[in-house]
A = this chain, B = another copy of it.
């Protein structure tokens, strides 16, 4: 299986964390006054960015990659703070949050499922790990904010988009497509489904 050799570059992982934290902080900012204050926004942003990857590594029996270097936490906290500032500047940019959100689930889904395949997991568990990586951050976000969990609603297509994208990725890897091509395709499938859901849903 060609996935065995895959190494996720640090910058790709940090990019997904940055977008996740930014999106989490922007999301939480909408609930200021009512549910969370500034510190809460920073914590939720950081948790959204790091949650999926930490859950993924705990499930795979590894010390979370985010704890192996100073980069992940530093980047996640800075991105969350940036999200708080961006919220003040652009507080009508709901579309921007949506695109970031779609990109986060696409990237985390691809990273999680390729990592699971590389560790020798079978196809269905690899898709599962990809979905958990993709939606873990937002589920943690909703749990910490005591909100209904967005992932579970058909209309949001969160889980459906992540599941479809990672299933395409895993299938492609299993039939011999190079991992990088499979990962790009899987990410695009997830992003497109999620954006179509928001556009027409």
Contact = CB atoms under 8 A, between A and B. Distances in A.
B70 A59 contact: no
A61 B155 CA distance: 37
Contacts of A129: 67
Chain A residues touching B, majority SS:
helix
Contact of A124 (B63, B70, B151): B70
Nearest to A54: B59
Interface in A114-149: 116, 121-125, 128-129, 139, 143-144, 146-149
A39 interface: yes
Contacts of A177: none
A47 to B, nearest CB: 10
A108 to B, nearest CB: 17
For the complex of A and B, 7 pairs with smallest distance between CB atoms = A40-B152, A67-B125, A61-B63, A70-B124, A39-B154, A73-B124, A70-B122
Interface of A: 35-40, 43-44, 54, 58-64, 66-70, 72-74, 116, 121-125, 128-129, 139, 143-144, 146-149, 151-155, 159-160
